[in-house]
Amino acid sequence: MLSSTSASTLHLHSHATSFGFKEVKEEEKAEMVGNVFTNVATTYDLMNDLMSAGLHRLWKDRLVSKLNPFPGMKHLDVAGGTGDVAFRILESINRVRQRGLRDVFEDSLKADTQIYVCDINPKMLNVGKQRALEKGFGENGSLIWVEGNAESLSFQNDSMDGYTIAFGIRNVTHIEKVLSEAHRVLKRGGRFLCLELSHVGIPVFKELYDYYSFSVIPSMGELVAGDRESYQYLVESIRRFPSQEKFASMIADAGFQKVEYENLVGGVVAIHSGLKL
């Protein structure tokens, strides 16, 4: 017969997942991750600038360039609360029109363009809505803010032309469910794109990156955001995320085809893509 201590340990590990380097119950992880992003929401974009020396802006530009947005598209940006990716998509669509290509499309498509920003954290969404007002997107009916869970989306099957998730998928409890939901909501021919902090393969660079991650970033989080623990979780969660090859195979297992990835800055980040055919 199992002791109560052994039984509780067995129960924990039968439904356990990672929160950084810690093992926690699956039902606890979403709340713990939610607390992290509630704590960092107001300084999230500033910390991204500081941690990446502004490179995250170029990485997101690259992500959107791979999406190739077009007027009239219906797009879903998941874990996109502060709006960084969604704003870039709208700006890209506006540039298409300004280049004189508008005549290729029906005028009605402008009104039909819908960019959904889905995030599980209402505080992150509030930051995004405020930023939208500041950027002049506040009256833009193309931008739709939705509080929702990436593992159980509220959108219909085959309803989206594109799906992006930037720096979000490593925070979910079940990566496989997120990928399955992405595949479900995309139309045939729709593209899945994921920008995520990943794994550095060059030994010397890896040592420097590890030092920066574990020694500098948490201290920076404490100094700027007053929150060391959230940024300790950040760097630990990167190390627990699957390798580029493993993640690519998970995307393929979800039903996507033509799966590929591009390493940026030696694998500090990677952009994975796949098509629903």
How does 163-193 read in b/e, with b if 16+ C-beta sit within 10 Å? bbbbbbbbbbbebebbbebbbbbbeeebbbb
61: which residues sit within 8 A by CB, 6+ positions away? Answer: 88
Residues present in the chain in total: 277
Tracing tokens 């940024």 back to the chain, one arrives at: 231
Q: Does 132 appear as a known binding residue?
A: no
Q: Does 150 appear as a known binding residue?
A: yes
Beta strand extents in the chain (DSSP E only): 16-19, 22-25, 74-78, 114-119, 143-147, 160-166, 186-197, 257-264, 269-275
Q: What is the DSSP letter of 152?
A: B
Q: Does 42 appear as a known binding residue?
A: no
Q: Does 5 appear as a known binding residue?
A: no
Q: What angle do the packed helices 217-225 and 44-52 form, to 10 degrees?
A: 140
Known binding residues for S-adenosyl-L-methionine are: 82, 119, 149-150
Known binding residues are: 82, 119, 149-150
